[in-house]
Chains A and B, each alone.
Chain A
Amino acid sequence: MDTLCKYAVSRAKKLGADYSDIRITDDRSQRIVLIDRSPKEIGDEDIYGFGVRILKNGAWGFASSNRITRKEIEKTVKKAYSIAEASSLVSRENGIELAKEPVHKDKFTTPVRIDPFSIGIDEKLELLMEINEVMLNVKSIVKVYSYFIVNQRDQIFASQEGSLIKTKIITVNSDYTAVALKGNDSQMRSFQSYPKNAGWEHILSLKMVENAERIAEEAVAKLSASYPKEGKKDLVLNPCHLSLTIHESVGHPTELDRVMGYETNFAGRSFATPEKLGNFRYGSKLVNFVADNTLPGGLATTGYDDEGVKCQKWNVIKDGILVDYSSTREVAGLIGKRRSRGSGRADAYYSFPINRIPNLYLAPGKKDVSPDELMSRVKDGVYIEGRGSFSIDQRRLNFQFGGDLFYEIKNGKKGKMLRDVIYHSITPKFWGSLDGLSGRKYWEPRGIFNCGKGEPVQRAQMTNGAPYALFRKISVERGKK
């Protein structure tokens, strides 16, 4: 394969490419879904092919194929070159300039203790059967879903600049959901475990079976819970819930391609424009966001991105001030940055790498504050666990979130269960209202497994971490007619 890669970039160079790279990508996936007692979608996937990217006259061409032969590579390189020439009819005056990156000859493999593919499908299914059986035995549960997804990406990246990088990335993911019914009313509750770049040992650590009854009982309990009183309330958000709020209101707005208008037609733009860099108050002084694609177990911890840029760690928001973005080799230079932040990702061999959210987390508080201590500071509020409804405008300002489980907080104490709670705010106002963080002990990384962006839509994965956090005076509504 190394020889084929070298052949591709040498052919591109000979044709006259200013820059070229090739990725030969083998995406192996195993998916096991169990609905009630019926196994669904059980099987393996192997999506294998290559994509060639060529820069000519400051414009991109990209072509791909699932037939990995010398002849097909030759044909595909020519196609990519011809497409680049077509792109150059409508290119920027000075063309695309890639930010510099050292030449890398390296390998990176996700550290795993137990290869998840070595565990038999029967064993995996047995575990799901047990979970579903436990949940179906809880009165009022009418439907249950559970699944495992195991992914392995083997990729060789080679560039005309001389980089040759081999990566093997292993991801495991699992979740389950119970649906409870009473009369004409229904509620759902999910385990919401978190995907991780790790081996099967991660799945074993989740205590999935042990939690199944509780999850089902909480789904049933939600049916009898009270609706929230609407108005401004303080919120205490748990790390799983907050990871999605972070993803939408900090991760996406700080993608530099979006900031520069690349996603205008679909995913949208961003309010966090370059003139705000270094001076815009994104949130209160407690707000510190760190991007870290070297985070152990992080879903974007891949050694290198799909442009051959080494994974890095950097500050995005420091003491409440916007200080940096995620970026690719193409967009970094548009705001005068010398190096890409290594956020160019493609979801398959046939996809063009685009700017994706890195592993991004809200740093914990400096003191060892517990979630209970945060709640003790609330007179009238809501405690939210887990992910639910989520939506945000295309410039990432107005957002609205639900959750998976809710409790009232009254006079400093967690009280009765609530249902159908939603809250909405405007991004800088929301982060400006952050008034308390739990300590490092309570900080958790949570994976986002299916982030969608781009045209055609590409999936990406990354980890967004958070401590428990206290926000003041947020608009709370009832999410039911």
Chain B
Amino acid sequence: MRIDKTIISFLKKKKECDDVIFHYNGEDSNLSRFAENRITQNMSKKLEEITIKAIKDERVGSVKTTKIDSTSLLKTLRTAESIASAMPKDPEFMPPLKPEPCNNVQMDVASTTRITPQTKAKSILKVVKKLKSKNAKVAGIFYNGRRKICIMNTKGFFASHSLTNADFSVTVSVDGSSGFAEETEEDVRKIDVERAFNVALNKAEMGRKAVKIKPGDYPVLLEPIALGSLMWYLKFLMERRSSDEGWSYFSRKLGKKIASNNVTIFSDPLNSKIPGVPFDVESDGLPLTKHAWIKDGILKKLWTTRYWAKKKGLKPTGMPSNVIMKGTRTTREEMVKKVNYGLLITRLWYIRFVNRKDLVLTGMTRDGLFLIENGKISKAVKNMRFNDSPFTILSKVKYLGKPERVEGRFLVPSIFAKKFHFASTTKF
């Protein structure tokens, strides 16, 4: 079945409800996973799923299926209609979007689709061969895939987007120490497997003979991967409704200073360095545009759903598809030179809320924690647990580095902040 406007014409003709919203999500990907210097899992995934939302008198019934043919399409429509009929009216109902222009952004690169498991295996083999001489072990993934998303409705709205993604991440272990590196790109040709491997190896080698230090408050230099994992929380939490309802960290903070002057965080699906899906799938296709959330340390805006925006007389933003933090041109190495004393955090792990209202998070460092003294890495440090808010860091920023892509969704710099709280240590 072709995924185009003929589907919505078919649904329009057959519907026994007011309106229909149609979603398509297709993924064709390959993931080669390696550990202990060999490929342990190598898989091809083919997934095509459609979701039909039937709308009847402000009631919505939704059915998702991977059975994609015209018989199933009609059956799925009928099931969605019967669910809608069983629903009460939704007090937060929003009608389907009317046709409106949506920006498009080029994220579909043929080379990423074409790379074969054989080619990737050869790249992995290359790093494995390098390692044997160093008595080390390597683990990681090499992913390439193409995704197509399409949303349309019987009001005439249509949005479609194709994107490719290539992701290489690697952990090198040497004598009980480990280092991590990751590269994510739309174009697999930009991934440099050996560069990533060298970064991870260097960290693993520097991490040997780690010493235990006392938990407490330390100045911290976070590399982009570590900051990116904290940004993941901000992306979800910088939402308007919970703030207006009073139970969010951001409640009563709009328009107020919540971070250092040099902190500006925004989203822009058209950013060439980190393009994002140009519409919000959760909002049935609401076009996404550029928004500044924090500008020069001031909380300017929180992302808003269609319903809450209507209730509050705002323009809906939808949930952003990327998060970008402004930085400088200072490289990671130059950032280390600027630090007189502090901990270099390269990766964080298992981050969870401790207190949601105060935005206190906990998590562990991993794969490289180092002490910086007088602009140089002086020693490796055993991993520690932090209990603190990302805003402790963001409100005490001294230096910012060059932004780098993290997880294909964030463009964030290295960041040096005066204080971050560590509550306990571990044995390695």
Contact = CB atoms under 8 A, between A and B. Distances in A.
Interface of A: 37-39, 41-49, 59-67, 76, 79-80, 82-87, 89-92, 120-122, 125, 129, 142-143, 179, 181, 184-188, 260-266, 268, 271, 350-352, 354, 389-395, 397-398, 400, 402, 420, 422, 424, 426, 455-456, 475, 477, 479-481
B139 interface: yes
B246 A142 contact: yes
B70 interface: no
B320 to A, nearest CB: 20
Contacts of A61: 42-43, 117
Given A38-B90, A86-B42, A87-B42, A261 B36 contact: yes
B350 A391 contact: yes
Contact of B42 (A60, A354, A422, A455): A60
A82 B116 CA distance: 10
A265 B171 contact: yes
Contacts of A456: 31, 143
B83 interface: yes
B405 to A, nearest CB: 18
B427 interface: yes
Nearest to B48: A66
A479 B30 CA distance: 42
A393 B121 contact: no
Contacts of B46: 49, 63-67, 76, 350
Complex A-B, nearest 7 residue pairs according to Cβ-Cβ distance, in ascending order: A43-B62, A398-B426, A264-B139, A86-B117, A66-B66, A62-B43, A186-B247
Interface stretch (B122-130, B152-160, B221-229, B255-263): B122-130
Interface of B: 30-49, 51, 53, 60-68, 79-80, 83, 86-88, 90-92, 116-118, 120-122, 124-125, 128, 137, 139-141, 143, 169-171, 173, 178, 180, 242, 245-247, 251-252, 349-358, 360, 362-364, 366, 383, 385, 387, 389, 423-428
A260 B36 CA distance: 8
Contacts of A389: 352-354, 362
Contact of B385 (A60, A350, A424): A424
B246 A264 contact: no
Contacts of B31: 455-456
Contacts of A422: 354, 362, 387
Which among A37, A59, A265, A397 has the highest number of chain B CB atoms within 10 Å? A265
Given A264-B173, A479-B354, A184 B246 contact: yes
28 contacts: A39-B90, A42-B60, A43-B64, A47-B64, A65-B46, A66-B48, A83-B42, A84-B42, A86-B118, A87-B42, A87-B121, A89-B39, A89-B122, A92-B38, A125-B88, A262-B40, A268-B349, A350-B43, A354-B41, A389-B352, A398-B383, A400-B385, A400-B423, A420-B354, A422-B387, A456-B31, A477-B387, A480-B355
Contacts of B42: 59-62, 83-84, 86-87
Given A87-B42, A143-B245, A264-B137, A479 B360 contact: yes
A265 B91 CA distance: 45
A352 B428 CA distance: 31
A481 B118 contact: no
B65 A45 contact: yes
A350 B128 CA distance: 28
B351 A426 contact: no
A391 B36 CA distance: 26
- Which residue, of A129, A187, A264, A352, has the highest number of chain B Cβ atoms within 10 A? A264
Contacts, number: 264
A333 to B, nearest CB: 14
A228 to B, nearest CB: 13
Nearest to B384: A398
Given A389-B353, A391-B362, A398-B426, A59 B39 contact: yes
Given A188-B356, A350-B45, A391 B385 contact: yes
Given A262-B40, A477-B423, A90 B140 contact: no
A477 B424 CA distance: 11
B385 A481 contact: no
B98 to A, nearest CB: 22
B66 A49 contact: yes
A268 B36 CA distance: 13
Contact of B40 (A37, A60, A187, A426): A60
A66 B351 contact: no
A38 B68 CA distance: 30
A398 B87 contact: no
A45 B51 CA distance: 9
Given A60-B40, A184-B251, A271-B427, A39 B364 contact: no
A399 B307 CA distance: 40
B364 A186 contact: no
Contacts of B90: 38-39
B41 A402 contact: no
B43 A352 contact: yes
